[in-house]
Amino acid sequence: MSPRQPIRRSSRKRSLPLDSKSEPPVSSPNKIQKIKAESPIVESPIKVKQEISPKTLKDRKLKAHAKDSLDGPFPSYIRPTPSECSLAHEILSSMHGPRIRPKVVVASKDRAGCGDSPSVLDALVRTILSQNTSDKNSTRAKINMDNVYGGSDHWEEIVAGGQEKLQEAIKSGGLSQVKSKVILQILAQAKEKYGDYSLDHLHKASTEDAMEELLGFDGVGPKTASCVLLFCLQREDFAVDTHVQRITGLLGWHPKTSSREQTYHHLNKRIPDEHKYGLHILFVTHGKVCDECKAGGKVAGKCALRKAFREQVLKGEAEVEEPVKQEVEQEIEQEVKQETG
């Protein structure tokens, strides 16, 4: 009989699932649980060890808003100047047509929009549906939601149906698990605080009071609140989405390290009121169609907006950070190579 062989143990550690902390490992590799994922899970930008109460999150949002609203996050950063805002508005209007604020806000039946409704609650829900998705997808989600519940303001039916039904109804808009939860939380907060599913009293509130109240809702940040202010309440507020953040960064209107919320507070202070509505819409439009300014766009030296501001930098007419100046010089070098190559 041969001597007994020692048991060989692998030194390789068994890895646990990313969404598991103390659960035991799977007993058999053949039994794999299939996880149905309608959309990728969105992680919070702040990793915490324990759950933070809604009141604490609300207090943090309001405190950050009050701090940046006072002097702005970059008080010594003087761009954009009023003349730069006027120039950008003029150039973009010539490229895409002027954008004039309507005298009366009408809720569209064939598109979700972003705050486009006279009902503040409906405007808020529309804006949430438009987050992190295309206009086409958010519109599909809004139309299907209206078909499922019988209309855009049937809040009682939406609440009674629960999250699973709402999630399925807005599935085409993406991130429906998160959005459905936020929408139901907002409806619950409105009902508890005011006894009704309505926020129309904000039409009579000051801009600052309306902003603070909107920020008090779970899942509502400065961008969402600003869209409701700009489009529904018709206030002069400069909402910053991904297109606005990207293009104003290319123009050197905020520091390279600026977050979207910091950019909002900075530009909302720097841009004159008469340009806020038109410039916001034109930046969004331009960011979707300009081959140079859209996400992943390549410099070709043909964008009238970038050419105009680049000339200002080269002539020393615009005070910019050194990285912005270097970027402009690199763009010119790239164009020369393309033309000579």
Catalytic residues: 223
End-to-end CA distance of the chain: 79
Tokens of 195: 């006894």
Residue with token string 């999630």:
167
How far, CA to CA in Å, does 151 sit from each of 99, 155, 171, 285, 324? 29, 9, 17, 29, 49
Residue with token string 């309440």:
233
Query: How far is Cα 138 from Cα 133, in angstroms, rounded to an integer?
Result: 7
Q: Where are the alpha helices (DSSP H) in 150-175?
A: 155-169
Per-residue exposure over 251-261, b if at least 16 CB sit within 10 Å of its own CB, e if not: bbbbbeebebb
Peptide bond into 80 cis (omega under 30): yes
Tokens of 246: 């990207």
Query: How far is Cα 113 from Cα 125, in angstroms, rounded to an integer?
Result: 10
Tokens of 281: 């819409």
Helix axes 176-194, 120-129, angle to 10 degrees: 160
Q: Are 74 and 83 a contacting pair, CB within 8 Å?
A: no
Tokens of 277: 């509505």
Residue with token string 């930046």:
283
Residue with token string 């410099």:
299
